[in-house]
Amino acid sequence: MENLQSLMARSDYITVHVPAIEPTRHMINTESLKGVKTGAVLLNFARESIVDAQAVVDSLDQGQLGRYICDFPEPCLLSRPDVYAMPHIGASTQEAEENCAVMVADQLMDYLENGNIKNSVNFPNVSMERNGVRGARITFSNSNVSGVLGNVLSVLAEQKVNVLDMVNKSRGDIAYNIIDVDAPPSDDVVSAIKTVEHVIAVRVV
């Protein structure tokens, strides 16, 4: 289709599958609904802000749009026979709850065993494959300021600890690092890293 209006003019069923960002706010509105195919059904299970609910009501009242189905029960949509408004609880199905529980357990195990972080609220997503079976992995978090990683690497160099691989990511004021080394670091090495300015926490996994 050339544009949204052309698509809506030829569609019996219109489903919305876009993110809620500023360019998609009220993407379905009075203007876009003017040319909708008479009797068409509009389904929105994406986000509330994508569809202008009052424009939908007006289109339904004018007999242009045939039915609206969504999981955003706004006040103007309630008690209408041509609107099916359901609770927005798609993530609360038995299957979704089970999948989330498994995901959380897997990600927590990956952090405890490998130091990888995924879907944290206040840390960056950081992941690195293990560099073979030998050696050990050092992880540390620090304030996101310049020079910290370089100072930690200097500590490792002074202590003759060979670095095999590493990754560094930051999010806001926090940085997180994973460093694979060819031998388990001594307590002295770990202590020296902890004393580096702006280092918050150190862990060997």
Query: Contact 136/165 with Cβ under 8 angstroms?
Result: no
Length of the chain: 205
Query: Contact 131/164 with Cβ under 8 angstroms?
Result: yes
The active-site residue, picked from 26, 47, 80, 130, is: 47
Q: Which residues pair with 43 in a beta bridge?
A: 15, 69
Give strand ranges (E) for the chain: 13-16, 40-44, 65-70, 83-85, 136-143, 163-171, 174-181, 199-204
Active site residue 203: no
The active-site residue, picked from 26, 67, 80, 88, is: 88
The rounded distance, in Å, linking the Cα atoms of 107 and 121 is 13
The active-site residue, picked from 48, 67, 74, 198, is: 74
The rounded distance, in Å, linking the Cα atoms of 102 and 79 is 39
Active site residue 88: yes
Active site residue 2: no
The CA radius of gyration of the chain, in Å to the nearest whole number, is 27
Question: 83-85 and 13-16: which strand pairing?
Answer: unpaired
Read off the amino acid at residue 158: E
Name residue, tokens 């002295």: 188
Active site residues: 47, 74, 88
